[in-house]
Structure 1
Amino acid sequence: MQKKEQVSALQISFMIMLFEIGSTPLFLLGGKAKQDSWLAMCTGSMAGFILLMLLMWIQQSSLGTDLIGMLKIHFGRYAGSVIGGIYSLYFAYQSMRNVRDLGELTALTMLPRSPMSITMLIFVGISIYAIWKGAEVVFRLPEVLLPMVLFFYALLVLLFGIMGSLDFNRLGPVFENGFKPIADAALPDIVSFPFGQMIVFLMLWSLWDKPGVPVKNTVVAYLLISIFLIFMNALNVAVLGPTVAGISQLPFLKSVRTLSSLKFIERLDILVTVQLFVGLLIKMMLFFFCSVKAVAELTGKPAKWWVFPVGAVIYGASFLERDYTQHIAIGLGPSLRIDPVFQVAIPLLLALSILLRSRFARSSS
Structure 2
Amino acid sequence: MSARVPNAAEPIGNIQMATAMIVFEIGSTPMFLLARDAGQNAWISMAVGAAAGTLVILVLLHLQRVSGDQDWTEMLLSRLGKWGGGALAVLYALIFAYESMRNVRDFGAMANGTILPQTPIWIVMLIVAAIACYAVAKGMNVVFRTIELFFPTVALSYSTVALFFFISDLPHAHRLRPVLDQGIGQVLKHALPELISFPFGQVVVFLLFWKHAKEPRRAMKVSLTAYGIVSLFLTAMSALTLSIIGADVAKIVSYPFLEAVQLIHIADFLERLDIFVTLVIFLGLFVKLSMFYLASNVIVSRLTGLSPRTCAIAIGLLIFGASFLEPSHTFHIWLGLKVQPKYAWIYQVAIPFLILVLTLFAKRKASRPS
Note the C-alpha offset of 1:268: 1.3
Note the C-alpha offset of 1:213: 5.8
Partner of 1:89: 94
Partner of 1:297: 302
1:63-106 deviation per Cα after TM superposition (whole angstroms, max 9, x unaligned): 11111110011111100000000000000000000000100110
Q: Matched residues in 2 for 1:216 and 1:11: separation?
A: 13
**Alpha-carbon contact 1:20-1:195 (below 8 Å) kept:** yes
Note the C-alpha offset of 1:348: 1.2
**Alpha-carbon contact 1:59-1:212 (below 8 Å) kept:** no
The answer to whether structure 1 residue 47 and structure 2 residue 32 are counterparts is: no
Question: Does the residue aligned with 1:298 lie in a helix, a strand or coil?
Answer: helix
Partner of 1:144: 149
Aligned pairs for 1:27-66 within 5 A: 27-66=32-71
Q: 2:344 aligns with which of 315, 326, 339?
A: 339
Unaligned stretches of 5+ residues in structure 2: none
Q: Aligned residues: percent identity?
A: 39
Q: Matched residues in 1 for 2:319 and 2:340: separation?
A: 16
Q: 1:330 aligns with which of 330, 335, 339?
A: 335
Letter in 2 for 1:256: V
Note the C-alpha offset of 1:248: 2.0
Q: Matched residues in 1 for 2:156 and 2:216: separation?
A: 33
Note the C-alpha offset of 1:212: 4.4
Q: Matched residues in 1 for 2:16 and 2:337: separation?
A: 30
Note the C-alpha offset of 1:262: 6.1
The answer to whether structure 1 residue 184 and structure 2 residue 202 are counterparts is: no
Partner of 2:125: 120
Q: 1:321 aligns with which of 317, 320, 326?
A: 326
Letter in 2 for 1:176: D
**Runs of 4 or more consecutive aligned structure 1 residues displaced over 6 Å after TM superposition:** none
Q: Matched residues in 2 for 1:224 and 1:102: separation?
A: 25
Partner of 1:162: 167
Q: Matched residues in 2 for 1:301 and 1:319: separation?
A: 27
1:190-227 deviation per Cα after TM superposition (whole angstroms, max 9, x unaligned): 00000000000001101112344613211111111111
The answer to whether structure 1 residue 268 and structure 2 residue 273 are counterparts is: yes
Q: Which moved more, 1:124-133 or 1:205-214?
A: 205-214
Letter in 2 for 1:191: I
1:112-155 deviation per Cα after TM superposition (whole angstroms, max 9, x unaligned): 00111111111111111111111111001122111111111111
Note the C-alpha offset of 1:5: 3.4
Q: 2:367 aligns with which of 354, 362, 365?
A: 362
**Alpha-carbon contact 2:262-2:271 (below 8 Å) kept:** no
**Alpha-carbon contact 1:107-1:116 (below 8 Å) kept:** yes
The answer to whether structure 1 residue 77 and structure 2 residue 87 are counterparts is: no
TM (norm. structure 2) is 0.95
The answer to whether structure 1 residue 240 and structure 2 residue 281 are counterparts is: no
Question: Does the residue aligned with 2:134 lie in a helix, a strand or coil?
Answer: helix
**Alpha-carbon contact 2:66-2:360 (below 8 Å) kept:** no
Q: Matched residues in 2 for 1:215 and 1:319: separation?
A: 37
The answer to whether structure 1 residue 215 and structure 2 residue 220 are counterparts is: yes
Partner of 1:25: 30
- CA spacing shift, 1:262–1:193, aligned 2, 3 Å: farther
Letter in 1 for 2:47: C
**Alpha-carbon contact 2:175-2:246 (below 8 Å) kept:** yes
Unaligned stretches of 5+ residues in structure 1: none
Partner of 1:196: 201
What is the aligned residue count? Answer: 365
Q: Matched residues in 2 for 1:213 and 1:330: separation?
A: 37
Question: Does the residue aligned with 2:74 lie in a helix, a strand or coil?
Answer: helix
TM (norm. structure 1) is 0.96
